[in-house]
Structure 1
Amino acid sequence: MSAAVPPSGVYVPAVLFFKANEDFDVPAIKSHVLRLAQGGVTGIVVQGSNGEAQHLSHDERKEAISLTRKTLDENGFQNVVIIAGCGAQSARETKKLCVDAKDAGAAFVLVLTPSVWPGDMTKDNIIRYHREVADYSPLPYMVYNFPTVTAGIDLDSDIILTLSEHPNIVGTKLSCGNVGKLHRITSVKPPSEFCTLAGVSEVLLQGLLSGSAGAIAALPNLVPKLHMKMYALYQAGKIDEAMKIQAQLGQGDWATRKAGGVGAMKTLISKHFGYGEIHVRRPLMSVAQLSGTYVDKLEELIASEKML
């Protein structure tokens, strides 16, 4: 029997806030989780790339999941799903992270392909790795394709569809932004069977029109309500109106990357929403000052968010 599939919608890989000494800033983390939930997101990814997962210890990764689940439950958001990023550089470590994720309150795991030795990651080895970890995982398993952080390893639709036949592999996140690949997968595996999610806001609506279940995207860290408004318009069949917001989101996605990625998002959140500081874990760089055309576009988006 196949495992449960994540519900369709918009998920956000939450940024994680730190103090100046790089310890967790617990009040800021809780404030951020609560704002995202109040913004209507379907779920939160803890330990995504934007959550600086690779910079945390095992214990910290588990703590971040527990803190997120507790914050949601204490504020009446039991329905908000937690997906835990559990990728590591060995099958052994990834299996442990999957077990920790269940213990901490996650509902699904999201796993990157190991990339320290990209030459060894053949098609057969990639499939073997994900199947082995999925066999062991106590939670339903999603395959995370993000070539930017996996030394260029880019899983094609054939690999993902092969993995989709595993009873515990229930979905994929495509941060490659390849709508053609997404459509090839959804034309074979509908969202009721396999949750195919775009990995960037700039193709959220295009992905939905191609049969996706939604997206896991970084930009909802800044503007969750705007994403959910666009998703609601799509569901209501108001595609022209949804496309107008999609154009804004596409500009915002690009502007975030150009302005400084995770560091820029933390700076904007601190400035506009009144919690958190700008600190990231080294070797990432904090973004103390934001200026220029890209920042202006993001601040326009945030202004639209605050009107909703």
Structure 2
Amino acid sequence: MSIAPPPGIYVPAVLFFDEKENFDVPAIKLHILRLAQVASSLFESHDERKEAITLTRETLDENGFQNVIVIAGTGAQSTRETKKLCVDAKDAGATYALVLTPSTWPPQMTLENIIRFHREVADASPIPIMVYNFPVVTAGQDLDSDTIATLAEHPNIVGTKLSCGNIGKLHRLTTRFQQSEFAVYAGRTDVFTQGLLSGSAGAIAALVNVLPKLHIKLYKMYQEGNLKGAMELQGKLGHADWAIGRIGGIGGVKAVISANFGYGSPVVRGPLKALDPARLTENKHYMIMQEMIALEKEL
């Protein structure tokens, strides 16, 4: 039986590009180190996956963060490719793999095919895998708690990231499995504390890219039993989570980081469109982010 990832806050770290859409290695390293110096763990994935994972692992190791975990996104549109990406992730230094359900042919993804896919990947993966439930990017496929529970019985499937934001689903899973055997993570900041109250192992959330210290502060408040303080901060982070999505998702995250933390460009790969950091103030939601970043920088 494989061991589940430890509780904590994980981040799907954005990768910065230069004007030619190639890796901006210095900016990526700065971002990795800013996150590692604050957050308990790090998650990394993107197109040139093996290179990105290797860069992440090397940067962490070179700066004294050998114990920081790297969870690599290895989802692909075929079982064969997903298996290969899991092997690549292990070779590059990842500890766990996070696997999306294939979505090119959603009508063909019956319950039987979904379960077989994840089990076959888990059988072949040299590192433990986690089920990544993210309906927005898998053509609306939303795995229910019974399906995820069935997958959790596999000895090499050790957790799930629920970007669906369904707290009822999360709670059903946390009350069915020991956290050390199958860890359940909220996949969004706007349900972070609600997930903790329902027994989650923490969160894997995009907003941590921008506000890692505030996420850690909330997590510590919860651990110390300060639920009133945790819920107050949760309310603010919930508004920030909504705001960053309205600013522009990945492009918004990069633009906000570039404008406020002194590194990285807002370049994204097509078909996404880059945002001009100088024009962020034209977006009414940016005021919320400015207020939260001010709080972040006070910590």
Cα distance, 1:43 vs. partner? 1.6
- The answer as to 2:269 corresponding to 1:281 is yes
- The answer as to 2:140 corresponding to 1:142 is no
Contact 1:190 1:211 in 2 (8 A): no
User: Please, what is the CA RMSD of the aligned residues?
Assistant: 0.7
Q: Secondary structure at the match of 1:293?
A: coil
Aligned partner of 2:179: which letter? P
Candidates 283, 293, 296, aligned match of 1:302: 293
Aligned partner of 1:234: which letter? Y
Partner of 2:236: 248
Partner of 2:227: 239
User: Where do 4+ consecutive residues of structure 1 move more than 3 Å?
Assistant: none
Q: Secondary structure at the match of 1:115?
A: coil
Q: Counterparts of 2:239 and 2:59 in 1: how far apart (Å)?
A: 31
Residue deviations 1:217-245 (CA, integer Å, cap 9, x gap)? 00010010000000001001111011111
Partner of 1:261: 249
Contact 2:2 2:181 in 1 (8 A): no
Contact 1:142 1:170 in 2 (8 A): yes
Partner of 1:130: 118
Partner of 1:69: 57
Q: Secondary structure at the match of 2:285?
A: helix
Contact 2:3 2:180 in 1 (8 A): no
Q: Counterparts of 1:145 and 1:171 in 2: how far apart (Å)?
A: 11
Candidates 92, 98, 101, aligned match of 1:104: 92
TM-score, normalised to structure 2, is 0.98
Partner of 1:50: none
Q: Counterparts of 1:84 and 1:170 in 2: how far apart (Å)?
A: 14
Partner of 1:20: 19
Q: Secondary structure at the match of 1:98?
A: helix
Candidates 137, 146, 150, aligned match of 1:162: 150
Equivalent pairs counted in the alignment come to 296
Partner of 2:188: 200
Partner of 1:32: 31
Residue deviations 1:56-91 (CA, integer Å, cap 9, x gap)? 2xxx21010000011111111112110000000000
Cα distance, 1:190 vs. partner? 2.7
Cα distance, 1:136 vs. partner? 0.2
Cα distance, 1:42 vs. partner? 2.2
Q: Counterparts of 2:157 and 2:146 in 1: how far apart (Å)?
A: 15
Q: Counterparts of 2:181 and 2:100 in 1: how far apart (Å)?
A: 21
In structure 2, the gaps of 5 or more residues are none
Q: Secondary structure at the match of 1:173?
A: strand
Q: Secondary structure at the match of 1:170?
A: strand
Moved more, 185-194 or 170-179: 185-194
In structure 1, the gaps of 5 or more residues are 48-52
Partner of 2:197: 209
TM-score, normalised to structure 1, is 0.95
Residue deviations 1:261-305 (CA, integer Å, cap 9, x gap)? 110111111111110001001111111121232101011111100
Q: Counterparts of 1:292 and 1:275 in 2: how far apart (Å)?
A: 21
Identity of aligned residues (%): 63
Which structure 2 residues correspond to residues 179-194 of structure 1 after superposition, within 5 A? Answer: 179-194=167-182
- The answer as to 2:2 corresponding to 1:7 is no
Q: Secondary structure at the match of 1:77?
A: coil
Aligned partner of 1:43: which letter? S
